[in-house]
Amino acid sequence: MSKLTRRSFVKAAGGVAAVGLAGCGAASPSIAGNKAQVIVVGGGYGGATAAKYIKKADPNVSVILIEQNKHYYSCPLSNPVLVGMRDLEVQKWGYEGLKKHGITVVHETVTGVDTGAKKVTTAGGVFSYDKLVLSPGVSFNYDAIEGYDEAATKTMTHAWKAGPQTAILRDQIDAMKDGGTMVLVAPPNPFRCPPGPYERASLIAHYFKTKKPKSKLIVLDPKDKFSKFGLFQSGWEKLGYKGKYLEWVPAGEGGKVTRVDPKTNTVYTEMDEFKADVVNVIPPQKAGKVAFLAGVANDKGWCPIDFKTFESTMAKDVYVIGDSSAAAGLPKSGYAANSEAKVAAAAIIASLQGKPAPMPTYVNTCYSILAPNYGISVALVSTLKDGKITKLSGGLSPMEATPAFRHQEALYAESWYQAIMNDTFA
Amino acid sequence: MHLNKKSLLAVAGAMIAGGVAMNADEARADMASGLAMANTCAGCHGTDGMANGPAMPNIAGQPANYLIPVMKEFRSGERYSTIMGRIAKGYSDAEIEALSKAVAGWKWTGGAENPKLAMKTGETIAMVKPALAAEGEKLAKEMKCTKCHEDGGKSTEDDMPRVAGQHLDYLLFKMEDYKDEALKMPQPKKMKKRMDKASAKELEAISHFWAANK
Ligand SMILES: Cc1cc2nc3c(=O)[nH]c(=O)nc-3n(C[C@H](O)[C@H](O)[C@H](O)COP(=O)(O)OP(=O)(O)OC[C@H]3O[C@@H](n4cnc5c(N)ncnc54)[C@H](O)[C@@H]3O)c2cc1C
C-alpha cells in the first residue's frame, strides 16, 4: 500500500473525531495505522455494497461510509406498500450490519467535495480520501414541469425515494373514496427503475379492482414505450385492468404533462386537463446532488465513467456507481448498483495494490409484481467488450407462461429482495 | 476445495505479458474473475451463497461436480428454469467452471433465520411444520432418498447437492418441477422411478424434512 500517505489518513481520523465518533468502537482501530482511506458517500444499494465488499476483500483498508439518514428505506418492493400489500417496516434497514464489518458509518450530509485536494466536507468535519466512491442515487429536475417543485411533493408525492413519501401516498390511496380518480405522471428516460412506474400502476389497478371497483388510474406518459412493455400490456389485459381500472396515455396520444396545480390537484397536458383525487408525479431525474458538487456530472446530468472500473472520467480516484452513473448498457436498478459496487470495489483494491483492474462482470435481474402471485422478470448478464458494457445474455420471462411460472417469479421477487438487502446491509 | 489462486493469476499475468490477446471469455475465466462472477450471484443467492429465503436456494459449498453440469443444463435449456436459463447463457464453459469452483469454495453456514420474513411481506411464504417434517423423515428413509442424499441430506459427496437446510419454498417448487412430466427434468434414473411413485403429499412432507434438517 505504498501510495498512501500518512497525511491523508491522519486527516481522515481528524475528520472522524470532529464529528464526535470517539465512542464508536469500530472507528479507532481501523484508522489507527497507515492504511488506505476509502470514503463512500451514500449508503444505499450502491454505496453500502461497495463499503462491504471493499472491507471483505481487504480488511486493512479503512472505510468510512457517509450517509445522511439513520435508516434506509428500500424502493424495491415499496410499490406493494402503497396498496397495503406490505408493511413499510419490511423496507427499513439500518447500518449495524455494516459496522460489524469494521466500516465506520457517519450520519452526516455531504455538502462539498474537492476532488483536487481529495477532501469531502460535511457539517461535522472534513475527511480526506485516497479513493472516493459516490453513490448518491438520483435527484429531481424540479424545473421540468411547471408548478412541480419541492414544496409540491408534500401533497403531490413522487414516492420515488422510499420512506415518508411512500407513507403519504399509501395513506392518500387508502383515504380515496371509491369512484375516485388517480393520476400517475410517468417520467421521461433515463430514470431510476425503468419498469417501476408500471409495476406501481399494476398494483394500484389491482387494488381498485379488488377494493374500490368504481375507481380508475390514469397514467400520463411522455413516452410511447417502456420496459417490459409487452409483458405489462398482456398482464393488464389478462388481469382485467385495462380500460376499466387502468388507462395508459402514451406521448403520441397526449400523455406529456406540462404543468400541475397542487392547489387544485390538477394535471395539465398539451391538450387536456385532469382533476384527480390523488396525484403521483414521478419527475424527470438526474444524478444525485453530490455528483454536481464534486463536478463529476456532465451537461446531460449524469456521471460519465470508465466502464471497466466505474472511475469517473472527470476526476481521478473518484468512482461513481448506482443511479448517478452514466453506465450505458445497464439499467438504473438496485441490482445493477450492487453489481457495479462490486466491480468498483475490486478495481479500487487492485489499484491500491498497484495491480490492473480485473475483468468486470455485471448482472441484473429485475422482478415486477402485477398482482399477488403474478410476477414477471428481466435478466441481464454483461461484460466489457471493446470498451463498452456488452450484453452476453438475458431477456424477459416468456409472454405465455403458466400460472405456476408467474407464481414462482412473484416469490422469487421476495427472495431477491431478502438476499440483496442482506448482501447490502448485513 | 482449495483454489490455487496464485498459480492462476500467474497464468493470467503471463498471458498478458506474452501479448496474447485474451478475449473477454478467457479473461473472465481465471480464479479472481471466478470469484467476481460468483459475487454477482449474491443478489439472489445471498452473500457467499447463503440465500435468505424464501424460495431462492442456498448454493454455498455445493459441489462443483453438481454446479457445473447444472449450469450447462440451464444454458442448453435441458433443465427447466424460470430465469437461470436466461442467465446461464452468458457464460462460457471455462467461466462456468471458474465461477462454480468459487461457489463450491464457500461454506454452508447453517443459514440464519431471517427476521424480515416473519413480517408482512405481501407473498404467502411456506413455514416448516414439525409434524410434517417428522413424517417426511420416515418417508425419506422408506423411499430410499437418504441412500444417496446421505447424512439426512447434508452430503455433498462427488456430485450430490446438499438438500438439508435448504429453503422450504424452493424445495416445494423443485418437487413440483420434478413431478411435472412436461418439464422433463434431468435426474438420475433411480430418482425418477421414485419420484414417479411418490404422491404430491409425500413429496411435500419430505420437503419439510429436508428444510427442517439444518
Ligand atoms: C418504486 C421503485 C421500485 C424499484 N424497484 C426496483 C427493483 O425491483 N429492483 C431493482 O433492482 N431496483 C429497483 N428500483 C431502483 C433502485 O431503488 C435504485 O436503482 C437504487 O436505489 C440505486 O442505488 P443508489 O445507491 O444509486 O442510490 P440509493 O439507493 O438511492 O442510495 C443513495 C443514498 O445516498 C444518500 N445520500 C444522497 N446524498 C447524500 C449526501 N449529500 N450526503 C450523505 N448521503 C447522501 C441517500 O440518503 C441514500 O441513502 C426501484 C426504484 C423505485 C423508485
Question: Is A41's pLDDT higher than 50?
Answer: yes
- Cell readout for A24 is 464508536
Select, from the ranges A3-12, A18-27, A209-218, the one with the highest average predicted confidence (pLDDT).
A209-218
Predicted structure pTM score = 0.91
Distance of CA A133 to the CA centre of its chain: 15
Q: How confident is the model at residue B24 (pLDDT cuts 50, 70, 90)?
A: very low
Q: What is the pLDDT of residues B146-191, one digit of tens each?
A: 999 999 999 999 999 999 999 999 999 999 999 999 999 999 999 9
Contact at 8 Å (CB) between B57 and B45? yes
Atom nearest to A78 CA in ligand 1? 1
Ligand 1 neighbour A196 (Cβ under 6 A): yes
Q: What per-residue confidence (pLDDT) applies to B19?
A: 36
Residues in chain B: 214
Q: How confident is the model at residue A28 (pLDDT cuts 50, 70, 90)?
A: very low
Q: How confident is the model at residue B124 (pLDDT cuts 50, 70, 90)?
A: confident
From A12, A52, A36, A5, select the one nearest A350 (Cα to Cα): A36
From A298, A284, A303, select the one nearest A41 (Cα to Cα): A303
Cα–Cα distance for residue pair A4/A53, rounded to 1 Å: 20
Q: What per-residue confidence (pLDDT) applies to A7?
A: 38
Residue range A134-142: mean pLDDT, rounded: 98
Per DSSP bridges, beta strands A119-122 and A266-269 are unpaired
* A295/A356: higher pLDDT: A295
Question: Is B54's pLDDT higher than 70?
Answer: yes
Q: What is the pLDDT of residues B78-93, one digit of tens each?
A: 999 999 999 999 999 9
Residues of chain B by 3-state class (helix, strand, coil), percent to 5? 60, 0, 40
Residue range B100-110: mean pLDDT, rounded: 94
Ligand 1 neighbour A121 (Cβ under 6 A): no
Torsion sign over Cα A103, A18, A39, A416: positive
A419 closest CB neighbour out of B44, B87, B121: B44
φ and ψ at residue A138, rounded to 5 degrees: -110, 160
Q: Left, alpha or beta for A219 (phi > 0: left; psi -120 to 50: alpha)?
A: beta
Cα–Cα distance for residue pair A43/A45, rounded to 1 Å: 7
* Contact residues on chain B for A363, CB-CB shorter than 8 A: 40-41, 43, 87
Q: Which residues are CB-contacts of B18 (< 8 A; sequence separation ≥ 6)? A: none
Q: How confident is the model at residue A301 (pLDDT cuts 50, 70, 90)?
A: very high
Q: What is the pLDDT of residues A236-272, one digit of tens each?
A: 999 999 999 999 999 999 999 999 999 999 999 999 9
From A68, A130, A30, A78, select the one nearest A290 (Cα to Cα): A68
Element (H, E) at A169: helix A164-175
Measured between CA atoms, how close is A194 to chain B, in angstroms? 19
Nearest CA to ligand 1 atom 25: A46
Q: Which residues are CB-contacts of A172 (< 8 A; sequence separation ≥ 6)? A: A157, A278
Of the CA atoms within 13 Å of residue B9, those in its CB half-sphere come to: 11
- Cell readout for B152 is 439426512
Q: Left, alpha or beta for A266 (phi > 0: left; psi -120 to 50: alpha)?
A: beta
The pick from A192, A423, A424 for probing ligand 1's pocket by mutation, whose C-beta has the most ligand atoms within 8 angstroms, reads: A192
Q: What per-residue confidence (pLDDT) applies to B119?
A: 85
Q: B42 and A420: CB-CB below 8 Å? A: yes
Atom nearest to A79 CA in ligand 1? 1
φ and ψ at residue A300, rounded to 5 degrees: -85, -10
Q: What is the pLDDT of residues B27-38, one digit of tens each?
A: 566 766 889 999
Distances (CA, A) of A347 to A53, A54, A310, A405, B26: 11, 10, 8, 38, 19
Hey, which residues does A113 pair with through a beta bridge?
Answer: A120
Q: What per-residue confidence (pLDDT) applies to B122?
A: 84
Cα–Cα distance for residue pair A143/A218, rounded to 1 Å: 23
Q: What per-residue confidence (pLDDT) applies to A30?
A: 35
Q: How confident is the model at residue B117 (pLDDT cuts 50, 70, 90)?
A: confident
Q: A404 and B176: CB-CB below 8 Å? A: yes
B185 touches chain A (CB under 8 A): no
Residue range B50-60: mean pLDDT, rounded: 94
Q: What per-residue confidence (pLDDT) applies to B29?
A: 62
Residue range A118-135: mean pLDDT, rounded: 97
Q: What per-residue confidence (pLDDT) applies to A363?
A: 96
